[in-house]
């Protein structure tokens, strides 16, 4: 059986899977050069849980999905594919499913002390009823040495940084272990999609993560379009690429400015944020929204976007100034000295733990959904995928610099090859349909799985966020490092809490 998907290169092969066969099936995917992507639970009927597992087998090949109908505990696959550990813990918290043999049997989304009368994602759960909560100490690794100190940092942190508690175990300046406690502001975004019309839900998708508005809305719209079997007009597909690359530009420019902030390069910080502001002003003039919201909808765009000559001129000016800025960063020894060798992430750990986007590409993993599973009009544009091998903070910065240059090249191509015609097609997914959509967001791979209910409204949305993946990976670069490098290392990952917590 094949379910719909939004890629040019193929759909999703869906097959039933018995729970006891899951570890062997996951092992076979990895042995064949593939990679697990996510798992989630959903309820086709109240009280009837179905598990879904998604795997990618390689560039241009259809994705593989398994449907599992548990009647009791399910074997964990976290020891075979470590990146699946967080997904299983999320399912345990929100769907009440038990996984046997899991190496981290503690809550992830629900903090210690939270209890629910029903699994929160069960459609029968009363939506206005808060979870019962009794303050309880979080489980932490046992420490035997009196020399080891414990530092809880957060959840309220300096400046406008989002809420997260980072618990350090350290000796002097040496960090032995980092335990991040996230989900202080879990908003239940996946639950909020239930019962919405696809058009309304697209507006909700734009607000899952503010700095990824286009990526989230585009992945959602493409999942709905796949379920409906609708064909997006050529002009809308090309304009979607323009919007996605404009979003990548301002995110990466902000990243470079913030990274300079952590190395105390004040002029570099100011210049990066000035260029970010220029990019956002271009967005605002083009679309009316600095964050490029209010345009994407299932079937294409809500309205046409006029491309004037001013846009090419503004992008050329921004490209020139950005190139000078990047060269200056790469020739500032005080900046480079703090980045090189900081936060090294090996290729194997990046693969095993699920690193994605610039983080994985800086560790030698050559993966990019725009090229490997093209969507929108990416199959028609030139795309250079930047890869580095060092796996440190400098490599992650270099990948983003190269991606900025590639984004300008893509935008120039799109402006010169922009087709005419309509920007929206009718898109009404039939009752009981489902689809998968994806994007390569500025932070990495983003998937939306959409299930449509019997009334044509959304029954379930699953969001596989890049920050959910990269927050899992991040502590592996902190263990056995030092306090002086921590802020630089965290900035080099480009993490968001909102994207993880959802």
pLDDT of residue 8: 33
* DSSP annotation of 452: E
Using DSSP's 3-state secondary structure scheme, residue 111 falls into: coil
Residue 50 lies in a domain: yes
pLDDT of residue 3: 54
pLDDT exceeds cutoff 90 at 334: yes
Dihedral angle computed from the Cα positions of residues 109, 113, 114 and 116, in that order, rounded to the nearest 10 degrees: 120
Question: Domain of 6: which CATH number?
Answer: 3.30.460.80
Do 124 and 196 share a domain, yes or no?
Answer: no
Residue 463 lies in a domain: yes
- Name the token pair of 186: 């879990």
Domain range enclosing 28 = 2-128
Do 376 and 297 share a domain, yes or no?
Answer: yes
Q: Which helix (H) or strand (E) holds 15?
A: strand 12-16
Do 365 and 237 share a domain, yes or no?
Answer: yes
CB 261 within 8 A of CB 255: no
DSSP structure string for 158-226: STTPPP-EEEEEEETTEEEEEEEE--TT---HHHHTTT--HHHHHHHHTTSSGGGHHHHHHHHHHHHHH
Residue 101 lies in a domain: yes
* DSSP annotation of 424: B
CB count in 10 Å sphere of residue 347: 14
Residue 386 lies in a domain: yes
Q: Which residues pair with 39 in a beta bridge?
A: 53
How far is the C-alpha of 165 from the C-alpha of 27, rounded, in Å?
A: 34
Q: In 3D, which of 347, 345, 369 has the Cα closest to residue 357?
A: 369
3-state SS of 36-92? Answer: EEEEEEEEEECCEEEEEEEEECCCCCCEEEEEECCCCCEECCCCCCCCHHHHHHHHH
pLDDT exceeds cutoff 70 at 10: no
pLDDT of residue 149: 87
Residue 22 lies in a domain: yes
CA quadruple 50, 54, 60, 61: dihedral sign: negative
Q: In 3D, which of 470, 475, 478, 477 has the Cα closest to residue 495?
A: 470
Lowest average pLDDT, out of 80-94, 100-114, 333-347, 348-362, goes to 100-114
**Please, what is the Cα angle at 95 between 91 and 96, to 5 degrees?**
95
Do 123 and 253 share a domain, yes or no?
Answer: no
Domain boundary among 103, 128, 153: 128
> Is the preceding peptide bond at 122 cis, omega within 30 degrees of 0?
no
Q: What does the pLDDT average to over 70-99?
A: 94
Q: pLDDT tens for residues 285-326?
A: 999 999 999 999 999 999 999 999 999 999 999 999 999 999
Enter the pTM of the model.
0.94
Do 123 and 194 share a domain, yes or no?
Answer: no
Provide the mean pLDDT of the chain. 92
Q: Which residues pair with 178 in a beta bridge?
A: 168
Do 393 and 286 share a domain, yes or no?
Answer: yes
Q: pLDDT tens for residues 338-358?
A: 999 999 999 999 999 999 999
C-alpha distances in Å from residue 342, one per residue of 178, 337, 487: 16, 9, 10
pLDDT exceeds cutoff 80 at 56: yes
- Name the token pair of 326: 């990047």
Burial readout 116-130 (b: 16 or more C-beta within 10 A, e: otherwise): beebbbbbebeeeee
Burial grade of 354 (CB within 10 A; 0-12, 13-18, 19 or more): buried
Higher pLDDT, 488 or 151: 488
Do 236 and 380 share a domain, yes or no?
Answer: yes
CB count in 10 Å sphere of residue 340: 13
Domain boundary among 112, 128, 144: 128
* DSSP annotation of 144: -
Residue 139 lies in a domain: no
How far is the C-alpha of 478 from the C-alpha of 178, rounded, in Å?
A: 7
Do 117 and 233 share a domain, yes or no?
Answer: no
Do 350 and 467 share a domain, yes or no?
Answer: yes
Residue with tokens 């490997």: 372
Using DSSP's 3-state secondary structure scheme, residue 115 falls into: strand
Q: pLDDT tens for residues 236-281?
A: 999 999 999 999 999 999 999 999 999 999 999 999 999 999 999 9
Residue 256 lies in a domain: yes
Q: In 3D, which of 290, 271, 246 has the Cα closest to residue 407?
A: 246
Q: In 3D, which of 441, 436, 501 has the Cα closest to residue 468?
A: 501
pLDDT of residue 5: 52
pLDDT of residue 9: 34
Do 101 and 200 share a domain, yes or no?
Answer: no
Q: What does the pLDDT average to over 394-400?
A: 98
For residue 46, name the pLDDT band (cuts at 50, 70, 90). Answer: confident
Question: Among the residues of 299-448, which ranges form H helices?
Answer: 309-330, 333-339, 347-353, 358-361, 369-372, 393-416
pLDDT of residue 102: 93
pLDDT of residue 6: 42
Do 367 and 225 share a domain, yes or no?
Answer: yes
Residue 134 lies in a domain: no
pLDDT exceeds cutoff 90 at 122: no
CB 166 within 8 A of CB 178: yes
Q: pLDDT tens for residues 215-240?
A: 999 999 999 999 999 999 999 999 99
Quote the number of domains for the chain.
Answer: 2
Q: pLDDT tens for residues 137-164?
A: 766 767 778 888 888 887 887 677 788 8
Lowest average pLDDT, out of 123-132, 203-212, 289-298, 337-346, goes to 123-132
Do 102 and 207 share a domain, yes or no?
Answer: no
Domain boundary among 94, 113, 128: 128
Question: Domain of 345: which CATH number?
Answer: 1.10.645.10
């Amino acid at each position: 059986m094949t379910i719909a998907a939004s890629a040019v290169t193929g759909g999703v092969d869906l097959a039933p899977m018995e729970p006891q066969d899951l570890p062997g099936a996951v092992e076979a995917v990895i042995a064949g050069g593939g990679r697990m992507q996510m798992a989630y639970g959903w309820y086709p009927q109240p009280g009837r849980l179905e598990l879904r597992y998604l795997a990618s087998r390689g560039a241009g090949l259809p994705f593989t999905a398994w449907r599992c109908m548990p009647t009791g505990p399910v074997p964990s696959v976290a020891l075979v594919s470590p990146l699946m550990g967080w997904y299983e813990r999320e399912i345990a918290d929100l769907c009440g499913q038990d996984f046997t043999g899991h190496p981290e049997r503690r809550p992830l989304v629900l903090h210690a002390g939270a209890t629910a009368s029903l699994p929160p994602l069960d459609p029968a759960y009363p939506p206005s009823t808060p979870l019962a909560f009794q303050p309880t100490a979080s489980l932490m690794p046992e420490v035997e040495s009196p020399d080891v100190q414990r530092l809880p940092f957060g959840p309220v942190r300096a400046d406008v940084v989002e809420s997260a508690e980072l618990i350090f175990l350290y000796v002097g300046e040496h960090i032995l272990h980092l335990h991040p406690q996230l989900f202080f502001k879990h908003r239940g975004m996946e639950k909020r999609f239930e019962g919405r019309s696809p058009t309304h839900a697209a507006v909700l998708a734009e607000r899952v993560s503010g700095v990824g508005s286009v990526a989230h809305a585009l992945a959602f719209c493409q999942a709905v379009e796949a379920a409906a079997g609708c064909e997006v007009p050529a002009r809308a597909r090309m304009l979607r690429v323009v919007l996605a690359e404009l979003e990548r530009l301002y995110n990466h420019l902000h990243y470079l400015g913030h990274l300079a902030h952590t190395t105390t390069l004040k002029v570099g910080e100011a210049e990066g944020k000035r260029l970010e502001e220029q990019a956002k002003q271009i967005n605002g003039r083009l679309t009316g929204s600095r964050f490029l919201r209010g345009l994407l909808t299932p079937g294409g765009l809500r309205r046409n976007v006029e491309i004037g000559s001013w846009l090419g001129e503004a992008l050329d000016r921004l490209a020139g100034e950005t190139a000078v800025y990047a060269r200056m960063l790469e020739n500032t020894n005080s900046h480079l000295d703090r980045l090189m060798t900081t936060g090294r992430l090996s290729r194997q750990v990046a693969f095993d733990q699920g690193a994605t986007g610039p983080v994985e590409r800086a560790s030698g993993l050559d993966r990019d959904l725009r090229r490997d599973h093209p969507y929108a009009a990416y199959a028609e544009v030139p795309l250079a995928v930047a890869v580095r091998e060092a796996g440190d903070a400098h490599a992650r910065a270099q990948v983003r610099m190269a991606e900025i240059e590639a984004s300008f090249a893509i935008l120039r191509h799109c402006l010169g090859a922009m087709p005419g015609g309509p920007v929206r097609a009718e898109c009404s997914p039939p009752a009981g349909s489902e689809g998968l959509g994806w994007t390569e967001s500025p932070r990495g791979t983003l998937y939306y799985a959409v299930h449509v209910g019997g009334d044509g409204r959304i029954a379930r949305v699953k969001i596989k966020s890049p920050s959910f993946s990269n927050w899992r990976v991040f502590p592996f670069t902190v263990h056995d490092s030092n306090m002086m490098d921590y802020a630089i290392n965290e900035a080099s990952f480009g993490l968001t809490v909102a994207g993880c917590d959802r």
